[in-house]
Amino acid sequence: MNSKKLSFVIPCFNASKFINQNIDRLIKFLKKKKYKYELLENGFSSKDIAAGRKVLNSKRITMAENTRKFEDAFAKKIGSRYALMVNSGSSANLLAAFAAGNILRKKRYKIGDEVLIPVLCWSTSVWPFVQFGLKPVFIDVDKNTLNISINDLKKKITKKTKAIVLINVLGNCSDLFEIKKIAKRKNIILIEDNCESLGSKLKNKYLGTFGDFSSFSFYYSHQITSGEGGMITCNSDEDYEILFSLRSHGWFGGTRFYSRKFASYNKYAKKFSNLDPRYIFSNSGFNLRPTDIQAAIAHNQFKRLDELKKMRNINRNLIIKKIKNSKSWNNQFYFFEPVKNLEPSWMGLPILLNEKYKKRKKKFIDFLDNAGIETRPIISGSFVNQPASKLYNLNKNNYKYPNAQKIQDLGFLIGLHTKKISTKNLNLIHSAFFKIDKIN
Ligand SMILES: Cc1ncc(COP(=O)(O)O)c(C=O)c1O
């Protein structure tokens, strides 16, 4: 593909200039070279594939029994009253954003209210709330855990603050008990983006059970995967009924193959007796449903969650030990420790370079890439640096975020796999990492 062809494909699209200027890098990215140590290995077992294939063979692939079974098992294990599967973690956040402000919710925020969000975030941790009409106020993160800074959070709470979005980063978290207390005291709705931390427990309580709504992602690189997929949890009947309708066209009770009877059924049945009770639309809505294939695959993976978590933990310890026990070790790298009382379920291994290597970071990342070690930034760096944030002027008050900036400037991530890391790969990581002292 050359740039002429590309401008033909997307005439007058204002990103075409940018793409054409970066065409070589883009093609390299799309071809995706083979790494020796990838961000993730093939996450599917033959049993996962068989579970998905069974649904496909049944020819009923839309949301049905498998989704319902997975939701029930999920809610039971993590200790939430309700769990509702969706087609991605982003969709779970979208549901949370619109459910928390829904007209049928007694306690709700309104267009123009403020939402506090850690600035080290994923794009769809922010956009659903902006799309609803809230004003985001970014909060810096704690440089030791990557998670929301409680000090900065306390400073930025005002009368206009009606929601807090927490992000539990890569298996780690802040003191969620403290944040929950603050939210309760100030009557603020708490939304917990737990897309990166399924399986982590704080004081024996699963992350993803602290928010009024909590979201999960089953995208390819996450703790469990169905390729695409997500979950949202909540604890009240009111919220569950709202989520249920919003997920599926605003449809009361759901589709033919997956319906629930809600307490308000009689109210609707009486009031709208002129309607077919199976086709009542009681709320606004999206279509964010998963397929039953995704549910079957994710459910099968979910049964192995503890095992996957254990192996990632073992691999993390092996990599850190290999680096820190090396005779070349001179604090070149910083590894983030779990917050106190956390039993972590890691997603990837985030690493910070020593400040003195700041100018070498790009060269070092390129070096790792050429050595066959795949890396990526920690989430998306400080979100206020992203063009989309500038386009919509999200950082209106021009706050600075020194810790998130530092994490963007010095941080990167390598994968943590669910099979024991080979000695060959341990040696590869060791020898490539310590080349940092030779790059200039
Ligand atoms: C913190 C966070 N929130 C939300 C998402 C979105 O999840 P999904 O890719 O399933 O849409 C991600 C994705 O990686 C994420 O890291």
What are the tens digits of pLDDT across the range 398-411?
999 999 999 999 99
Q: Report the number of secondary-structure helices (H) and strands (E) in the chain.
A: 17, 15
Question: E strand or H helix at 234, and its extent?
Answer: strand 230-234
DSSP string, 310-345: HHHHHHHHHHHHHHHTSTT-SS-EEEPPPPTTEE--
Task: Count Cα neighbours of 285 within 13 Å in the Cβ-side half-sphere.
Answer: 21
Q: Quick one: 266 and 120 in the same domain?
A: yes
Q: Quick one: 56 and 173 in the same domain?
A: yes
Q: Is there a contact between 193 and 93 (Cβ–Cβ < 8 Å)?
A: yes
Q: Quick one: 271 and 333 in the same domain?
A: no
Quick one: pLDDT at residue 168? 98
pLDDT above 70 coverage of the chain, percent: 92
Q: Residue range 213-228: average pLDDT? A: 95
User: Does any domain span residue 7?
Assistant: no
Count of structural domains, the chain: 2
Q: Which domain holds residue 115?
A: 46-303
Q: Quick one: 335 and 289 in the same domain?
A: no
Would you say residue 130 has pLDDT above 50? Answer: yes
Would you say residue 1 has pLDDT above 60? Answer: no
Quick one: pLDDT at residue 244? 96
* CATH label of the domain that carries residue 219: 3.40.640.10
pLDDT above 90 coverage of the chain, percent: 85
What mean pLDDT value characterizes the chain? 93
89-98, 145-154, 271-280, 296-305: which range is least confident on average? Answer: 271-280
Band of residue 30 on the pLDDT scale cut at 50, 70, 90: low
d(CA 414, CA 213): 30
Q: Which of 55, 148, 131, 144 is nearest to 95 (CA)?
A: 131
219 C-beta closer than 6 A to ligand 1: yes
Q: Among residues 269, 303, 337, which one ends one of the domains?
A: 303
Q: Quick one: 100 and 219 in the same domain?
A: yes
Beta-strand relationship, 82-86 and 258-259? unpaired
Quick one: pLDDT at residue 278? 87
142-156, 255-269, 350-364: which range is least confident on average? Answer: 255-269
d(CA 148, CA 2): 44
Residue 329 has phi, psi (to 5 degrees) of -65, 125
User: Does any domain span residue 192?
Assistant: yes
Q: Quick one: 161 and 59 in the same domain?
A: yes
CA 156 – ligand 1 centroid, Å: 25
d(CA 244, CA 258): 11
d(CA 298, CA 324): 36
Q: Quick one: 285 and 317 in the same domain?
A: no
Q: Quick one: 353 and 281 in the same domain?
A: no
Quick one: pLDDT at residue 97? 98
Ligand 1 pocket mutation pick from 40, 126, 219, 378 by most atoms within 8 angstroms of CB: 219
Q: Which residue has the higher pLDDT, 327 or 30?
A: 327
DSSP string, 97-137: HHHHT-TT-SS---TT-EEEEESB--HHHHHHHHHHTPEEE
Would you say residue 344 has pLDDT above 60? Answer: yes
* CATH label of the domain that carries residue 379: 3.90.1150.10
Band of residue 2 on the pLDDT scale cut at 50, 70, 90: very low
Q: Quick one: 171 and 285 in the same domain?
A: yes
Q: Residue range 388-402: average pLDDT? A: 96
Compute how many other C-beta atoms are within 10 angstroms of the C-beta atom of residue 153: 22
User: Does any domain span residue 39?
Assistant: no
Band of residue 206 on the pLDDT scale cut at 50, 70, 90: very high
Would you say residue 5 has pLDDT above 50? Answer: no
User: Does any domain span residue 433?
Assistant: yes
Q: Is there a contact between 402 and 408 (Cβ–Cβ < 8 Å)?
A: no
334 C-beta closer than 6 A to ligand 1: no
Q: Among residues 287, 303, 319, which one ends one of the domains?
A: 303
3-12, 94-103, 104-113, 239-248: which range is least confident on average? Answer: 3-12
Q: Quick one: 175 and 277 in the same domain?
A: yes
Q: Quick one: 321 and 206 in the same domain?
A: no
207 C-beta closer than 6 A to ligand 1: no
Ligand 1 pocket mutation pick from 122, 126, 167 by most atoms within 8 angstroms of CB: 122
162-202 confidence digits (pLDDT tens)? 999 999 999 999 999 999 999 999 999 999 999 999 999 99
Q: Quick one: 425 and 372 in the same domain?
A: yes
Name the residue type at position 26. Answer: L
Q: Is there a contact between 232 and 74 (Cβ–Cβ < 8 Å)?
A: no
Quick one: pLDDT at residue 195? 98
285: its two tokens: 């809505």
Beta-strand relationship, 161-167 and 254-255? unpaired
Q: Among residues 252, 277, 303, which one ends one of the domains?
A: 303
288-321 confidence digits (pLDDT tens)? 999 999 999 999 999 999 999 999 999 999 999 9
Would you say residue 37 has pLDDT above 60? Answer: yes
CA 281 – ligand 1 centroid, Å: 29
